[in-house]
A = this chain, B = another copy of it.
Amino acid sequence: MSYVNPLRAAAAAGQPIRGAWLASPSAVAAEAVASAGYDYVSVDMQHGTADLSDAVAMFTAIGGQGTVPMARVPSNDAAVIGRILDIGALGIVVPLVETAEEAAAAVAATLYPPHGVRSFGPVRASTTIGSRDTPDLEQIFVAVMVETPRGLDNVDAIAATPGLDAVYVGPADLALGLGLPPAYERTEPEHVEAIERIRLACERHGIVAGVHCAGGAMAARRLAQGFGLTTIMNDLAVLKAGAEHELRLACGTAD
């Protein structure tokens, strides 16, 4: 085995992992974001506008900046996950995982038999990784999202899944599941505690606790709280906020 996934190396070294998210389908935007120095940049294929062919171009642009290309996959479907890996994602975030079985299925989707169920055909991945050996191709950083009450109930078992690298908190969906309006950070105790509970489960099982944030200041707070991985920004949100902010400055109406 010659390839080492940089995110796994960082996690093993206890280094904080800072990433960004792409909601727009643009490889030019992907490259601009990656060039800022993020550890990973993830294409959002659950909610975002990027198709598979967009993702190929985006992974290429991200990797070209020395950044790890990831994807939030649309769902926990082994065929879809396998293909996203074949076209070059080196990490995945799987949404809406609720049980240890589902977490194990996510891991299995990244591994070849006998360890998993992935079909062989590393079309772009073999170029990206520089190897067609299965142990190299299996070096995928796997994160599952816990973001529902049921997932929360099972978080300890989920975090114990062999081969899992991280549990990633989806705070907005988690809020909805708790009967709260969706937001990435809330002050209600049940939201605060739910997130801390996920973090502690990860700590207990020696895996990375990850969390989605709405900006660098929030991310700094999460890292200080003990999270090991955090998504700091979303390209479309930053662009929209920036466009509004600059216009207010030009109008003299900014705070």
Contact = CB atoms under 8 A, between A and B. Distances in A.
Given A119-B46, A250-B18, A243 B33 contact: yes
**Oligomer copy total:** 6
A219 interface: yes
Contact of A242 (B23, B46, B239): B239
A214 B165 CA distance: 35
A24 interface: yes
Contacts of A1: none
Interface stretch (A48-56, A153-161, A193-201): A48-56
A11 B28 CA distance: 31
A235 interface: yes
A246 B234 CA distance: 10
A192 interface: no
A117 to B, nearest CB: 9
Contacts of A87: 49
A184 to B, nearest CB: 10
A121 B47 contact: yes
Contact of A249 (B95, B216, B250): B216
A216 B243 CA distance: 9
B28 A24 contact: yes
B60 A57 contact: yes
Interface residues of A, number: 94
Interface string A12-49: 00000010100111111101110111100000101111
A241 B172 CA distance: 26
Interface stretch (A2-10, A78-86, A101-109, A202-210): A78-86
A23 to B, nearest CB: 5
Contacts of A235: 239, 243
Contacts of A119: 46-47, 95-96, 147, 170, 173
11 contacts: A26-B29, A31-B60, A47-B83, A47-B119, A51-B51, A112-B182, A215-B246, A217-B250, A232-B246, A232-B249, A241-B242
Interface of A: 18, 20, 23-29, 31-33, 35-38, 44, 46-54, 56-57, 60-61, 63-65, 74-75, 79-80, 82-83, 86-87, 95-96, 112-114, 119-124, 127, 132-134, 147-148, 170, 172-173, 176-177, 179, 181-182, 213, 215-217, 219-220, 223, 230, 232-233, 235-236, 238-252, 254
Closest 3 pairs between A and B when the two form their complex, measured CB to CB? A216-B249, A64-B64, A47-B121
